């Protein structure tokens, strides 16, 4: 048996981010929205990566990651499959444009290259971010509202789905939960909103739905709601506590866990030659048996790790493989292997380690169970999970 530790990214197994509700055109002069298909196309992995670039942008705030976003904006329907509303996109771009004035002309390029709906989003974002002077040079037109002074998205009290999505988009760009504070305020039934019973109920219900979905993906949002809960009292405190409890109920750690921190060993049969598609198939239901000449990839899946104040995670593991005769293969024995040492938006997405152990069975290897033992460690939370899995080498 040959064992080799490889530094390979197996591909994100993270849950698709929870997006704000789809809404109408964000521009003050909206273009009628086309009717939706009854069964929208399922997002592809590329669509999901594109959405994650936007929804989790604030984690690193790396402007170089946005070029694919502008490329998608140029394609008719390019962002529709991400399930992001145009209003949330407009809010997102408004804040990004505000922070990156010098990059805008290079990012946007010729305005004629965009379909009408995406052009209106870009024009709105330029106006909202205080870059109205770039609208005509890029798009050779000016909207009717160009001379109006844009409002402040941070202090905006939303009264519609569109305005809520604008604020969610601003949150995705900045990571500042203050942008959605008004939605948290709206959960206080004792706080007056519009004076209309029907409209107030709609605002409170939509606020609760958006916070529930997004809190599961954004640690910074859950921390904010916990702090607000500590400061609240009475019925409002009960509502916030119930919101937090809904996240706890939605996440149940696996059978091998230490508190919220959980993990499992994933295996796959590696192809004879490098094959990215094959690597992406690693999972807990991988092969339990092998034959001589096979190469088995072993990685670790985990979730529920603690995050530092800056959203950094630090997960590592020790691994070894024991042969049927009880001897540990020295090449398989590794300590302190880095699984994740990076900033991430949330604790509860299932992630895979950034390395894999490659086990190749030689013709002279004895048949029987080869036991893989892993000690998975959350180095920030101080949690440890012992994992074990066997692969049976068949005699024939």
Q: What is the per-residue pLDDT across 295-304, written as a single tens digit (0 to 9) for each?
A: 999 999 999 9
Task: Tell me the three state secondary structure of residue 93.
Answer: helix
* Residues of each domain in the chain carrying CATH 2.60.40.3880: 2-12+254-393
What's the N-to-C CA distance of the chain in angstroms? 16
* 13 has pLDDT over 90: no
Mean pLDDT confidence for 29-47: 57
- pLDDT the model gives residue 170: 98
Q: What is the per-residue pLDDT across 194-227, written as a single tens digit (0 to 9) for each?
A: 999 999 999 999 999 999 999 999 999 999 999 9
Instruction: Provide CB contacts within 8 A for 89, sequence distance 6+.
Output: 26, 54, 79, 121, 169
Determine contact, residues 89/72, Cβ cutoff 8 Å.
Answer: no
- pLDDT the model gives residue 1: 67
Task: Tell me the three state secondary structure of residue 245.
Answer: helix
Q: Which pair of structure tokens corresponds to residue 225?
A: 């709601």
Q: Which pair of structure tokens corresponds to residue 271?
A: 């192809």
- pLDDT the model gives residue 251: 87
d(CA 196, CA 49): 40
Task: Tell me the three state secondary structure of residue 341.
Answer: strand
Q: What is the per-residue pLDDT across 145-201, written as a single tens digit (0 to 9) for each?
A: 999 999 999 999 999 999 999 999 999 999 999 999 999 999 999 999 999 999 999
- pLDDT the model gives residue 277: 46
Instruction: Provide CB contacts within 8 A for 371, sequence distance 6+.
Output: 321, 322, 388, 389, 390
Give CA separation, 224 vs 12, 70, 76, 179, 205, in Å. 26, 31, 37, 11, 19
Looking at the DSSP bridge assignments, the partners of residue 3 are 359
Determine contact, residues 66/53, Cβ cutoff 8 Å.
Answer: yes
Rg (CA), the chain: 25
Mean pLDDT confidence for 46-53: 91
- pLDDT the model gives residue 2: 65
pLDDT tier, 241 (very low <50, low <70, confident <90, very high otherwise): very high
pLDDT tier, 7 (very low <50, low <70, confident <90, very high otherwise): very low
pLDDT tier, 12 (very low <50, low <70, confident <90, very high otherwise): very low
Closest by alpha carbon to 377, among 334, 321, 314? 314
Mean pLDDT confidence for 266-287: 65
Determine contact, residues 347/260, Cβ cutoff 8 Å.
Answer: yes
Given CATH 3.10.20.30, say whether it is the number of domain 2-12+254-393. no
* 105 has pLDDT over 80: yes
Question: Of 62-71, 75-84, 230-239, which gets the smallest average pLDDT?
Answer: 75-84
> Which is higher by pLDDT, 114 or 26?
114
| pLDDT averaged over every residue in the chain | 87
d(CA 325, CA 162): 65
Determine contact, residues 131/101, Cβ cutoff 8 Å.
Answer: yes
Q: Is the dihedral of CA 112, 115, 120, 126 positive or negative?
A: negative
d(CA 242, CA 212): 10
């Amino acid at each position: 048996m040959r064992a080799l530790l490889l530094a390979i990214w197996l591909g994100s197994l993270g849950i698709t981010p929870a997006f704000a509700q789809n809404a109408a055109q964000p521009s003050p002069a909206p273009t009628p929205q086309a009717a939706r298909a009854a069964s929208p196309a399922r997002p592809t992995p590329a669509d999901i990566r594109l959405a994650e670039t936007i929804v989790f942008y604030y984690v690193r705030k790396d402007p170089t990651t946005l070029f694919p976003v502008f490329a998608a904006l140029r394609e008719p329907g390019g962002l529709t499959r991400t399930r992001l509303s145009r209003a949330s996109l407009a809010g997102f771009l408004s804040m990004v444009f505000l922070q990156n004035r010098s990059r805008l002309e290079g990012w946007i390029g010729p305005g004629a290259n965009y379909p009408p709906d995406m052009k209106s989003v870009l024009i709105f974002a330029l106006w909202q971010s205080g870059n109205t002077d770039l609208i005509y040079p890029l798009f050779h037109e000016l909207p009717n509202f160009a001379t109006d002074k844009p409002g402040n998205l941070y202090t905006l009290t939303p009264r519609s789905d569109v305005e809520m999505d604008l604020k969610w988009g601003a949150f995705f760009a900045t990571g500042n939960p203050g942008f959605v504070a008004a939605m948290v305020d709206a959960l206080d039934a004792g706080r007056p909103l519009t004076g209309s019973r029907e409209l107030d109920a709609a605002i409170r219900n939509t606020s609760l739905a958006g916070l529930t979905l997004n809190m599961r993906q954004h640690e910074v949002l859950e921390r904010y709601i916990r702090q607000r809960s500590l400061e609240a009292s009475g019925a409002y405190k009960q509502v916030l506590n119930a919101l937090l409890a809904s996240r706890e109920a939605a996440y149940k750690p696996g059978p091998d866990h230490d508190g919220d921190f959980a993990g499992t060993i994933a295996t796959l049969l590696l192809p004879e030659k490098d094959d990215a598609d094959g690597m992406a198939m690693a999972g807990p239901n991988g092969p339990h048996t092998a034959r001589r000449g096979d190469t088995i990839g072993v990685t670790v899946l985990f979730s529920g790790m603690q995050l530092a104040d800056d959203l950094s995670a630090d997960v590592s593991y020790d691994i070894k493989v024991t042969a049927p005769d009880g001897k540990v293969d020295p090449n398989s024995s590794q300590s302190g292997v880095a699984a994740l040492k990076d900033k991430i938006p949330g604790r509860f997405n299932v992630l895979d380690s950034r390395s894999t152990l490659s086990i190749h069975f030689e013709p002279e290897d004895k048949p029987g169970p080869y036991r893989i033992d892993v000690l998975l460690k959350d180095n920030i939370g101080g949690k440890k999970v012992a994992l074990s899995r066997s692969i049976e080498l068949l005699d024939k």
